[in-house]
A and B are shown apart, each in its own frame.
Chain A
Amino acid sequence: MKLANKLRQLSIAVSTVAALGIACAANAADTIKVGILHSLSGTMAISETTLKDTMLMLIEEQNKKGGLLGKKLEPVVVDPASNWPLFAEKARELIAKDKVAVVFGCWTSVSRKSVLPVFEELNSLLFYPVQYEGEESSKNVFYTGAAPNQQAIPAVDYLMGRGVKRWVLAGTDYVYPRTTNKILEAYLKAKGVAADDIMINYTPFGHSDWQSIVADIKKFGSAGKKTAVVSTINGDANVPFYKELGNQGISAENIPVIAFSVGEEELSGIDTKPLVGHLAAWNYFMSVESPENDTFIEAWHKFIKNDKRVTNDPMEAHYIGFNMWVEAVKKAGTTDSDAVAEAIMGVAVPNLSGGFSAMMPNHHITKPVLIGEIQDDGQFQIVSQTPGLVAGDAWSDYLPGSKDLIADWRKPLACGNYNVKTAKCSGQNY
C-alpha cells in the first residue's frame, strides 16, 4: 500500500516536471534569454551583486520599450560564488542548457580567463564590464571596461603634469596589478624616470595590516621629490589601506594616491573625510553632469528602491555593452553569435558622460578618461578629462612581447593577435 502510494506520488511528480519542461520550452521560443554571470556570494559578491541588479534593470527597461525583435528579453541569473572554476561550469550551463543568446558577466581577470575557453568552444558572446590589464582579444568577448591605455597611462600622465617625480606602484598580488604595473614601469622608464624613483609593492588579497607598507611609502616619499602612489589594490584591502594612510597623517597634498579599483561603491564603505583629494581614474563618475547620467541614476534609484545607492564605472560599462548588443541584434536581425559579432563592430551608443562610445574592431570600445578627486561625501570631483575619446588598446605598446601585436576582428584579417612585423596571426586563442 505504502509503496503504491509512493509510486503514485512519484509519477505525479514526474509528469509535473515534464509538463513544466514543455511549458519552459514553449516559452523559450517567445523570449530571448540573456545570461548574467556575476557572483552573488563569496568574496566578489561585494562588487558583482550590483552589476547583476544593473543588468536586471537594463533588461526590464528594454522590455518596457517592447523588447527586442518583437520578443521579450528574459534574464537568466546564475551564481558562480566567487569560485573561478565554477565560473566555467556556470557559463557552460548558461550556454548549453539555458541556451542564452548572450552573457554579461565576470569581474576578476581570473574568472574571465576561466570562462574564455567555454565561450570559444560553444561560440557564444560575453560582455566583460571591468577595467583590466589588456593583452587579450578574443573573438567571443567584448571588453567594455577600460584597457590600460584608457585608465592607467592617462592617470600617470596627469600626475606627471603636476610635477610628480617619484612613483610607488602598489597592488594586490594577481594578474591585473602585475601586468598593469609592468606596463606602467616600462612607460615611466620610457619617460625618463630612474629605477630608484620607482617602488613596487605587492600584497595578498584582503590584506589588512598596512602599517609597515604605509610607513615605507612615507619614507620613500620624504626624499624631497614629489611622490605619488599608483594603486591597483583590489576591493576590500583598500579600506584598511586608506584608513592607515589617514592615521599615519599622509594627506593627498603630500603623497596623492591614484587608484584604479576604487570607485563610488568601494568608498560607500568608508568615512572619506581623511581621503579628500586622493584620486581615482575611471571612464565614468557618478558626479558626471549629463542628462543621460541623471536619467540613469534616477532609474537606478527607482529600480533598487534606495536613493542612497551609488552608481559606478562598471555599471556604465554594462549600460554601454547592453545597448551595443541591442543595437547589433537589431542590425543583424538575429541573435546568432557570428552575425551579432559581425554587426556590433562600429556600433556607437550614448555613454553616460554625454558622448558616444563605439565598438572597435579589436572588441574594445572608445571612452573618455576622467580623473577625479575624492570628496568628503564619497563622490568624486572631476579634475581632468581627456578632450576626446580614447580607443581601447588590446595589446600594450609598452611591453616588448605585445607592442607588435594588433587585434582586428574584421574580415579578412579576423585575428586577435596579429603580428605586424612577421605578418602572422599566432592563432593563440586567448
Chain B
Amino acid sequence: MMLRLLVTLLMLCLSSASLAAEIETGDATLDGAFEQLLDRDFEVKAQGITALAASDNPKTDALLRGILEGGLRYLTDNKRLVWVQTHADGDHAIDALSGEDYGVYTSRKFKKFALNNAMRGQIRTLLAAEELSNPDPSVRLNAVKSMLDTVQLSDAEQFSKLLEKETDPAVRKAFGSAIALAQLNTEDPKQRHTAIAALSGQLEPTVRNALNRLAQSDPDEGVRVDAATALAEIEEKVHFYGYIETLFFGLSAGSVLVLAAIGLAITFGVMGVINMAHGELIMLGAYTTYLMQQLMPEMAGLSILLSIPTAFIVSGLVGIAIERGIIHFLYGRPLETLLATFGVSLILQQLVRTVISPQNVPVSNPDFMSGLWQINPVLSLTYNRLYIFAFCLLVFAGLFFVLKFTRLGLQVRAVSQNRAMARAMGVRSARVDALTFGLGAGIAGIAGVALSQLTNVGPNLGQAYIVDSFMVVVFGGVGNLWGTLIGGLGLGIANKLMEPWTGAVLAKILVLVFIILFIQKRPRGLFPQKGRAAEG
C-alpha cells in the first residue's frame, strides 16, 4: 500500500516535470536530451547532444542532422519537434516523430536549436561514424577524411574491416591512410616502418604532422630517419604545388586587373580620353547585377548571365551620354576632360548613394561559382576565380575580334590613327567617337558584373579600381590591347609573388615603384604603338 502510494507520487512528480518541459516527444530519453539542449549553458547543451546520440530511437541520426543543418525546429504552442516543409500556402510544421502535419506556421513560430562551433563539431563526429557505411562513396570518403585528425590505434581494426568490404578505389585509399596513421602509434617499430612506407607521398596535413612528430621524437632511430625522408619528399611536392597555387593566384589577380582596365584601354588607349569616371562605369555594371538579382531572386545563376548584356547596355548608354554631353566638347583638352569626368564620377557615386543606398548592397554568388576544385590536399582552385579568369579571356577575345574584324573596329582604328583622313574617306568621326566610347564604357560595365562576384558592391567600388586600371594601360602600352592583357596578368603575378614575403601593403607599393621606374625607361609602355599614330 505504502509502496504503491510512493510510486504514484513519484509518477506524479515525473509527469509534472515533463509538463514543465518545452518539448514533448513521448520518448522519455529524447525529452531529457532536448531539455538539456534548450538549456542556456552550452556545456549542458553538449551533454544533451551526447544523450540524444545515446538514445536508441531509430530517428536519432536524422534528428541530429536536423539540428546541425537547422531543419529541425520546435513549436512552443504544442511542444512538438517538427520539420519545416515549404508548401505553396506557407511553411508547414511536420511532426519529426509521427509525421503528422500541424498546418502553416509563420517563420517566427519555428524555434531553432542554438549551437556553437564545438557542438557542430561534436555532431559531425557522431554522424561521421555512421556515414562510414553510407551507400554513397563520396559521403564515405568525406567521413573517413573527417576522422583522419582524431584517428586512434584502437580504430585500426574497425577500419580494416570496413576496408575489406570497400569497393571504391578513392575510399579504399583513404581507409589505407587512416589505418597507416593509426599504426604510426604501435609499439612495434617494424609496423611503424611499414606505416611510414604506406604514407609516403601523401599530402594530407594530418600525415605531415604525424610524420613530423615521428621524425622528431620517435624512440627508434631508424623510424626517425625514415619519417624524415618521407617528410622531405612530401615537403618537396608541397612546395611545387605551392608555386602552382601562387601562379594561379597571380593570374586570377591579373585577370581582375585586365577586366577593369580593358574598357579603359579603349577610351584612354585608343581615343586618348582620360576618363576618370571609368571606375563608376564599372560600378554601374555591378549595380546592374544587383538589380537583376532583385528582379529574379530565385535564379542567381540566370540573373548573372543576363546581367552581362544588360550591364553592357546600361554602362554603354551612360558612356555615350557622357561622351555626347561632356567629352565631345573637350577633345584636345586633356586637363579639362580629366576634371570634367572626375566631376561626373562624383555625381554618379552620389547618385547611387541617394537613389539606392549609401550602404553596400548584397550580391549573391550562384552555386556554380562557389566552392573549390580540390586537385589534391594542398592544391585547390576556387571556382569563382577560375570562371572570372576564363571570362576575362573571353571578353578580351571578343573585343579583339570587334576591333580587328568588324566595320566599327576598322572605323575606330582609322579615326584614332588619322582623324582628318578618316573623315575625308567618309567616316562620320563624331558618331564613331560616341560608339567607341560607348564600347569602352560597356566593357567596363561587364567588368562590373565580374567584380560584383568578388568584392563589395557599393558606391565606392569604382574608386578602388581606377588607379589600377590606368596603371595597367600605361604599363602595357597605350593603344595596344595585347599590352593591357600581358601587362595586367604580369602585374598580377608579380604582386602575388611578392606578397608572401613583403605583405600585401608593401607588395602594392613595390609594384607601383617598379612601374614608375619602368615608365622612365620605356615611356610608351611594354608594347608601344608603332607608326604614324604613335607620333600624333
Contact = CB atoms under 8 A, between A and B. Distances in A.
A binds B: yes
Interface residues of A, number: 48
Interface residues of B, number: 55
Contacts of B503: 201-203
Contacts of B458: 46, 236, 269
B504 A202 contact: yes
B252 interface: yes
B355 to A, nearest CB: 14
Contacts of B361: 269
A49 B382 contact: no
A222 to B, nearest CB: 3
Given A211-B252, A236-B456, A45 B504 contact: no
A209 B256 contact: yes
Contacts of A224: 205-206, 209, 212-213
Contacts of A80: none
A140 B145 CA distance: 58
Nearest to A279: B117
A243 B349 CA distance: 25
Contact of A244 (B245, B382, B508): B382
A203 B504 contact: yes
A206 B464 contact: yes
A426 interface: no
Given A253-B120, A253-B121, A209 B362 contact: no
A163 B70 CA distance: 26
Given A202-B503, A202-B504, A269 B360 contact: yes
A108 interface: no
Contacts of B13: none
Contact of B358 (A46, A207, A208, A222): A46
Interface stretch (A66-74, A89-97, A212-220): A212-220
A215 B455 contact: no
A253 B124 contact: yes
Nearest to B497: A212
Interface in B427-486: 454-456, 458-460, 464
Interface string A195-210: 0000001111011110
Interface string A250-264: 001100100000000
A344 B362 CA distance: 41
A215 B362 contact: no
B258 to A, nearest CB: 14
Main secondary structure of the interface of B (DSSP, over half): helix
A187 to B, nearest CB: 22
B120 to A, nearest CB: 6
A381 to B, nearest CB: 5
A164 to B, nearest CB: 11
Interface in B86-124: 114-118, 120-121, 124
B116 A383 contact: yes
A208 B70 contact: no
Contacts of B464: 206, 208
B37 to A, nearest CB: 14
B85 interface: no
B359 interface: yes
A23 interface: no
B529 interface: no
Contacts of B455: 208, 239-240
A75 interface: no
Interface stretch (B157-165, B274-282, B363-371): B363-371
A181 to B, nearest CB: 13
Contacts of A207: 504
Nearest to A373: B116
A31 interface: no
A208 B451 CA distance: 10
A43 B246 CA distance: 31
Nearest to A384: B42
Given A212-B249, A216-B500, A271-B364, A248 B382 contact: yes
Nearest to B246: A212
A247 interface: yes
Nearest to A266: B360
A211 B116 contact: no
Contacts of B205: 222-224
B460 A43 contact: yes
B353 interface: yes
A354 interface: no
B177 to A, nearest CB: 15
Nearest to A376: B70
Given A209-B256, A268-B362, A373 B370 contact: no
Contacts of A120: none
Contacts of B115: 381
Interface in B333-389: 349-350, 353, 358-362, 364-365, 370-372, 374, 380, 382-385
A411 interface: no
B265 interface: no
A215 B249 contact: yes
A249 interface: yes
Contact of A208 (B118, B359, B364, B454): B454
A148 interface: no
A381 B116 CA distance: 8
Most buried by A among B116, B252, B459: B116
B22 interface: no
Contacts of A277: 116-117, 120
A253 B117 contact: yes
Interface in B20-68: 42
B464 to A, nearest CB: 5
A247 B117 contact: no
Nearest to A378: B362
Contacts of A243: 365, 384, 454
A173 interface: yes
Nearest to A82: B460
Interface of A: 40-43, 45-46, 49, 162, 173, 201-204, 206-209, 211-213, 215-216, 222-224, 236, 239-240, 243-244, 246-249, 252-253, 256, 265, 268-271, 274, 277, 373, 376, 381, 383
Given A247-B371, A247-B383, 4 more contacts: A46-B358, A173-B505, A211-B253, A247-B370
26 contacts: A162-B118, A201-B504, A202-B505, A203-B503, A203-B505, A209-B454, A211-B253, A211-B496, A212-B249, A222-B205, A223-B205, A236-B360, A239-B455, A239-B456, A240-B456, A243-B384, A247-B370, A247-B383, A249-B371, A249-B380, A253-B120, A268-B359, A269-B359, A269-B361, A271-B364, A383-B116
* The 8 nearest A-B residue pairs measured at CB: A222-B205, A224-B209, A208-B455, A269-B360, A247-B382, A45-B358, A211-B249, A203-B504
